[in-house]
Chain A
Amino acid sequence: MNQKPKKGQPLKEVFPTIQNIIANQLKIKPVEIRLNSELQKDLGAESLDAMEIIMYIEEAFDVHIGDEEARKAKTVEDIANYVTKKIK
């Protein structure tokens, strides 16, 4: 896992970790994942994949993403935004 980002760090600092988590869950290459990629529409994630990805991200960054936020997270950028907001 990459060095833990700090609060206020820009999206590009957390993106590589998120990219790797998504790539590992979906068994795709990290370069296929962009900030504006939609998890389900563009990357082929099923609802269960999305839940696994959210949970891996919670563990990696030691943050809690609420049910409502998890449901609303469509793009990789949505997730990255939650993460940067919540990092302690």
Chain B
Amino acid sequence: MKSFKRAVITGMGAVTPAGIGWKKTWESLLNGRSGVRSISQFNATHFRTQIAGQVAGFDARQFISEKQMGDTERFTHFALAAASMALEDSQLALTKESPEAGIVIGCGMGGLPYFEQQAEVYAKKGPGFIRPGSVPRIMPNAAAFQVASLWKIRGPNLTLSTACSSSNHAVGVALDMIRTGRCRVVLCGGTESLLSPITFGAFDTLRVMSNKNSRPTHACRPFDRNRDGFVMGEGAVIFVLEEAGHARARGAEIYAEVAGYGSSNGGYNILASEPDGMELSQSMETALRDADSAPAAVQYIHAHGTGTLSNDATETLAIKKTFGAQASKLMISSTKPVTGHMIGAAGALGILACALSVKTGMIPPTLNYETPDPACDLDYVPKKSRKTRVDVALCNAFAFGSNNASVVIKREV
């Protein structure tokens, strides 16, 4: 049941392996400048996969105090920096809004790297030496708390943790908060930073990541026949989502409307979606219905497109189920070769790409797509960005745990 309230994006902040700030990130996505490198945050020499998309040149002190930085973990630093940039971008006087403003941040695994450090302390010294500050550093909702604390935001404050789809759900739930009138402004998006040996190693032994270690920028190859897995990334993308009338009344620049949100799960396999594409198709269909958009209205899909064998084939099948004959006319791309898979922030990066495709008429390409795969036979916008008008875009995010989410982005009218 929908109300008549609509939600628009009026501010964006990004800290990604493609750049600090949405403009630098967007330029890298369009130009295929990949931030995937050999891992420098820990010694990955003995791991099967030794590469990741890493945020470079980031100094949290540009955004937060030394004290707040010292008390928090990298995933929180990213969220604070992205929120800071989004608020500045929106030119919103948040002090007036803060009693009613909300926060919904997606985060898959929180501060597990700090947990690893404390596990080592425990092993070496015993239980009495585990830092008392561990819990508020590690919990996935630490980032959302710190955002609320910094700007004195006093409305709802949620953290959604559904692995790789966390931030699509976060933006979807934020949309619902605006629609129902619960909030006029919601800071929403996602954050993640998991580049530490045990957490990364757990993905490594799952054999879901690419081991093309000698060519990091070529490793992630969504929809390409020679794809061999995803590449881990890190970062945060945060939006200022605002009730449309409120945004217009203050003369805000509007990037795009968040027009619909759909979700599904298959209950099939905790690590893979149903191979017939049904559960993924259901996610897209419910989002389109929620947005009152016919499939034929969509021009662009930011695919989940991880570069794993199964995801890309199943996502292709699901797109065909959802769009029928229209599927072959769609432009579909995945920006994960540029940033790596930002897990809890992955969906938000896709929504950013959709919003900017609507705003600028540019479609970011799928870098590294070279060799067609019979199981992936749609238009993946290979290698080079494309200029075209986009009125309706769809962002997919699918996750371990079968938590699929799709978000519809529309040109604001």
Contact = CB atoms under 8 A, between A and B. Distances in A.
A59 B131 CA distance: 11
A27 B67 contact: yes
B390 to A, nearest CB: 46
Given A27-B65, A27-B70, A59 B133 contact: no
B129 interface: yes
Determine the main DSSP class of A at the interface with B. helix
A55 B130 CA distance: 9
Contacts of B129: 55, 59
A69 interface: no
B67 A55 contact: no
Nearest to A53: B132
A52 B67 contact: no
B256 to A, nearest CB: 40
A25 B70 CA distance: 8
B133 A52 contact: yes
Nearest to A25: B70
A27 B132 contact: no
A26 interface: yes
Interface in A37-57: 48, 51-52, 55
A48 B132 CA distance: 7
Contacts of A25: 70
Contact of B133 (A26, A27, A48): A48
B401 interface: no
Contacts of A55: 129, 131-132
A26 B67 contact: yes
B131 A27 contact: no
B136 interface: yes
Nearest to B129: A59
Contacts of A26: 67
A52 B66 contact: no
Interface of A: 25-27, 48, 51-52, 55, 59
Closest 4 CB pairs of A and B: A51-B132, A27-B67, A27-B66, A52-B133
6 contacts: A26-B67, A27-B65, A48-B132, A48-B133, A48-B136, A51-B132
